[in-house]
Structure 1
């Protein structure tokens, strides 16, 4: 795992060794050309991009909370290295789970107009994306941050009730009860209505939620979800996995995919 130091935005690598306490960012991506990459951070480029400001602000908040390190997926993964990219996707849930705190940055929410109501949450794009589900469920402490980088509340604090009502995710989950205490069908239902840019990412983004591991194979499209189900069935005797076929055959169709007509970008593109 590669972390950024809050004091100078320099990288430190912790591959194969314990990591220090760190914060982690969950966010919807700007267009790719506005997100700063690993290589740009290494050479000091991309500082005028919108994504760089996001990295800088995250580091400032982490430092203010007494943390010396933080992680942001846009630049802490070298996506030009296929081996590292694959390992990162397979490790993502665990990295979020181990974070001291996760900042969920809501780029379309102003602290001035935010209200903790279901109607307000319906307009938040962060709650529509596939990858942000595991980033929401894995960490014990998820703090929601406005576009002005102001604290709005936390999933296990003042926002628990409205999040439970809006997402259908039980309060017990938000407060840290193990995901394995809930059936496969119930956990799958939490992903209904969320979108990913690439078809395959629907399956890859759910691996940690079901504690399974399938090697990412971009280009396989819908077969990734079949492989996910097969691996879940191999590891559990929970028959609720078949609930999407009967009595509700429409269930998998509700897992929405935002698949572009043009060649899709690599992992992580989360358009706002």
Structure 2
């Protein structure tokens, strides 16, 4: 598993870890957009010019605030030009999300004005959150249920809440039972619930 970290010059570097040596890390969940930063972009030093760079920077800065040195972003931590590596990464994805200390969901289509009250009682962003494209992705289920800690952030990098504080809304949007967010084993769900 390759993880990103900030260099002393403020740029990113990749470090490869093997199973027993993987440190605590944050992981980014998001919907792919135009100009995502690839493994090649990062290794060639051409990543800063791409639109997707801001997501990587957000993840790294948030990880640092959470006292995590390392973080993972799929587009640039996986060499997708290597078919074997790509298949191994797809097979490992649930485990990587499950083992992450924090999962940050970055929602570029959700804005939270800084004028919203600090205690979160003014949720003008909630109707936009409900329509976020992130909830239409095929990977959303595993990225919601695998990590113990999932936090949702607006495009400005403002914390909207976590999967516990937003569980009612997320359940309404996705139809995923709340007990799935709370770590209930798959065996607790009927076949119909698993297939829904």
Which interval holds the TM-score relative to the shorter structure?
0.7 to 0.9
Task: Please say if residues 59 and 70 of structure 1, whose CA atoms lie closer than 8 Å, have aligned partners that are also in contact.
Answer: yes
- Measured after TM superposition, the shift of residue 6 of structure 1 is 3.5
| Structure 1 equivalent of residue 100 of structure 2 | 99
Measure the CA separation in 2 of the matches of 1:166 and 1:100. 25
**Matched residue, 2:188:** 181
- Say which is worse superposed, 36-45 or 119-128, in terms of deviation: 119-128
* Shift in Å, 1:155: 0.5
1: CA distance, partners of 2:62 / 2:37: 19
1:214 counterpart residue number: none
1:2 maps to 2
Find the residue that maps to 1:91 and give its secondary structure: helix
Instruction: Provide the aligned length of Structure 1 versus Structure 2.
Output: 185
* TM-score with structure 2 setting the length: 0.88
1: distance between equivalents of 2:129 and 2:172? 10
Q: Report matched runs for 1:177-216 at 5 Å.
A: 177-189=184-196
Note the C-alpha offset of 1:43: 2.1
| Aligned counterpart in structure 1 of residue 29 of structure 2, from 14, 26, 29 | 26
1:17 corresponds to 2:24? no
Asked if 2 retains the 8 angstrom alpha-carbon contact of 1:96 and 1:102, the reply is yes
Q: 1:79 to 1:151 in 2, by over 3 A?
A: same
1:108 to 1:120, Cα distance in 2 relative to 1, 3 A: closer
Match of 2:149 in 1: 141
- Offset of 1:165 from its aligned partner? 2.5
* Conserved 8 A contact 2:28-2:103: yes
Instruction: Describe the SS at the equivalent of 2:131.
Output: coil
The one-character-per-residue Cα deviations of 1:103-140 (angstroms, maximum 9, x if unpaired) are 011110001285475x4443110001111221111111
Partner Cα separation in structure 2 for residue 106 and residue 183 of structure 1: 31
CA contact (8 A) 2:130 2:169 kept: no
Where 2:187 maps in the other structure, the secondary structure is: helix
CA-to-partner distance for each residue in 1:47-89, whole Å, 9 max, x for gaps?
1111112111110010011000000001000000000000000
Query: Match of 2:63, SS?
Result: helix
- In 2, Cα distance between the equivalents of 1:116 and 1:180? 35
SS of residue matched to 2:20: coil
Structure with greater proportional strand content = 2
Unaligned runs of 5+ in 2: 117-122
Match of 1:192 in 2: none
Per-residue deviation, 1:172: 1.5
